[in-house]
Amino acid sequence: MQPYFNEQQIVQIYHVSKRFKHNCQALEDITLEVEKGDFIFITGPSGAGKTTLLKLLFVEERPTSGQIIVLGRNLNRVRESNLHRLRRQVGVVFQDFRLLKDRTVFKNIDFVLRLYGHPPKVREKKAWQILSMVGLEKKIDSYPLELSGGEQQRIAIARAIVNDPPLILADEPTGNLDQKREEEIMAIFNQINARGATLIIATHNRSMISRMGKKVVSLDNGRLVSGAVM
Ligand SMILES: Nc1ncnc2c1ncn2[C@@H]1O[C@H](COP(=O)(O)OP(=O)(O)O)[C@@H](O)[C@H]1O
Ligand SMILES: [Mg+2]
Amino acid 116: pLDDT: 86
Amino acid 184: pLDDT: 87
Place 228 in a pLDDT band, splitting at 50, 70 and 90: very low
Q: How far apart are CA 59 and CA 55, in angstroms?
A: 6
Closest protein CA for atom 16 of ligand 1: 49
Whether residue 44 has its Cβ less than 6 Å from ligand 1: yes
Q: Terminus-to-terminus CA distance in the chain, angstroms?
A: 13
Q: Which ligand is nearest to the CA of 18?
A: 1
Average pLDDT over residues 45-73: 96
Residue 229, pLDDT > 50, answer no
Residues 89-113 have pLDDT tens digits of 999 999 899 999 999 999 999 999 9
Place 22 in a pLDDT band, splitting at 50, 70 and 90: confident
Residues 165-184 have pLDDT tens digits of 999 999 999 988 889 889 98
Q: How far apart are CA 126 and CA 90, in angstroms?
A: 18
Amino acid 227: pLDDT: 63
Average pLDDT over residues 32-48: 96
Whether residue 48 has its Cβ less than 6 Å from ligand 1: yes
Amino acid 4: pLDDT: 66
Whether residue 100 has its Cβ less than 6 Å from ligand 1: no
SS3 59: coil
Closest protein CA for atom 6 of ligand 1: 20
| Residue 158 to residues 47, 78, 105, Cα–Cα distance (Å) | 27, 27, 10
Whole-model pTM: value is 0.93
Q: How far is the CA of 175 from the centre of ligand 2 (A)?
A: 11
Q: Which ligand is nearest to the CA of 47?
A: 1
Q: How far is the CA of 43 from the centre of ligand 1 (A)?
A: 14
Q: At what angle do helices 105-114 and 120-133 cross, to 10 degrees?
A: 120
Place 230 in a pLDDT band, splitting at 50, 70 and 90: very low
Amino acid 23: pLDDT: 76
Average pLDDT over residues 64-92: 94
Residues 132-145 have pLDDT tens digits of 999 999 999 999 99
Q: Give me the amino acid identity at 89.
A: Q
Amino acid 47: pLDDT: 94
Looking at the DSSP bridge assignments, the partners of residue 9 are 35
Residue 162, pLDDT > 60, answer yes
Amino acid 5: pLDDT: 66
CA-46 nearest atom, ligand 1: 23
Choose between 226 and 93: higher pLDDT. 93
